[in-house]
Amino acid sequence: MASRPTLASLAEELGLSRQTVSNAINAPERVKPDTLRRVNELISASGYRPNAAARQLRTRRSRNLGFRLMPTGDGINGAILDRFLHALTENLQDHGYRVTLFAARNDEAEMQSYEELLETSDLDGFVLTGTHHGDARTDWLMARDIPFVTFGRPWTGSGNDEDCAHSWVDVDGQAGTAEATTYLLGRGHQRIGFLGWPAGSGVGDDRRAGWASSLGTALPPSDLEALAIGVDDGARQGAEGARQLLERGATAVVCASDSLALGASEQLRAAAPGTPPAVIGFDDTPVASALGLSSVAQPVEAAAVAIVDILRHVLDGAPEQPVPVTHRLLKPRLVLRDGGGPLASPHTH
């Protein structure tokens, strides 16, 4: 393996001080433009690039992994990613790794950040969230042989997530909404609505599929079509969607998020005062708990443990060993509450 250009070797070749080269990389505003240009040209020519950095990742241990902090949104659904970050940080730390956070407006900006981080920091790899169909980020990282694991499937759309060439850990949302729907069927509901997001999101379509598969034998296809509504995520949108579902004869609603469930529960409560609303949310957020709403809980702690296991295999394994690609689909858990309002005690299933 060719030795990696260092600050010292770059400085020597250019006849500059190490500090000047360091400034050119880390604080370019402090460096004269023509000096900056000379440094950057040599850096480009010398292979001091993400590709080179990638080759070093298996031998140089910064013990730091990059993680993009997603926007918080309404604070309800974003909470699941914050919980995941806590679990990830704690589990990585148990094995001597830290997390380097960065923000990015979109996937393009995220890839730009990868490039900057790999040039200026010595990250060992990345953990990605928010995977989606046609995700350019995973292609970018694979092309450069940068270690990473995604919390989320690739959502290729062809159902072949198991063929995916990179490691991922995800939660089986379909199984979660299927269990929620089956539970409501068992409580005597037949016209169970699904309140999700507009079609086309891997996560949303997957959650809808779980509801449809459980309800499929109970209702004719035309009813299935009428009883599924896609709206933008949010409590007010959930209330409006639930209002339409009630008009179409729904007596219970399975939701793709707790934000939607919050709005839906309010509609069902208003439609039948005194009756606990038959609404099941997703993510078991503090809001669901506070409102006494049932919800599908993602095992984020187990997901973090699985991701750390995979990364340790990649990063701490012997360099000459082939790195196995690992896919782990975890089962969510239906948390039942009586929906009667705040502080209601959970009842057993």
Binding footprint of a copy of itself on the chain (CB under 8 A): 8, 19, 22-23, 26-27, 59-64, 67, 69, 71-72, 74-76, 79, 82-83, 85-86, 89-90, 93, 96, 98-103, 117, 120-121, 235-236, 239, 262-263, 265-266, 269, 285-287, 289-291, 316, 341-343
Does residue 251 contact residue 191 with C-beta atoms inside 8 Å? yes
SS3 call for 285: coil
* Beta-carbon-side half-sphere exposure of residue 13 (alpha carbons within 13 Å): 15
Task: Say which residues have a Cβ less than 8 Å from residue 297's Cβ, sequence separation at least 6.
Answer: 283, 284, 332, 333, 334, 335
- Tokens 């005597």 label which residue? 188
Give me the sheet containing 279-282, strands edge to edge: 228-230, 192-196, 252-255, 279-282, 294-297, 333-335
Distance CA 276, CA 273 (A): 8
- Tokens 């037949």 label which residue? 190
Distance CA 66, CA 111 (A): 12
Q: How far is the CB of 153 from a copy of itself (least distance, A)?
A: 25
Q: What is the four-CA torsion angle of 203, 208, 214, 215, rounded to 10 degrees?
A: 180
Cβ distance to a copy of itself smaller for residue 138 or 265: 265
Distance CA 253, CA 167 (A): 34
Distance CA 205, CA 174 (A): 9
What is the DSSP secondary-structure string of 120-184?
HS---EEEEE---TT-HHHHHHHHTT--EEEES----SSS-GGG-SS-EEEE-HHHHHHHHHHHH
Select from 170, 163, 188, 334 the least CA-distant residue to 275: 188
Distance CA 228, CA 21 (A): 59
Name the amino acid, one letter, at 136. A
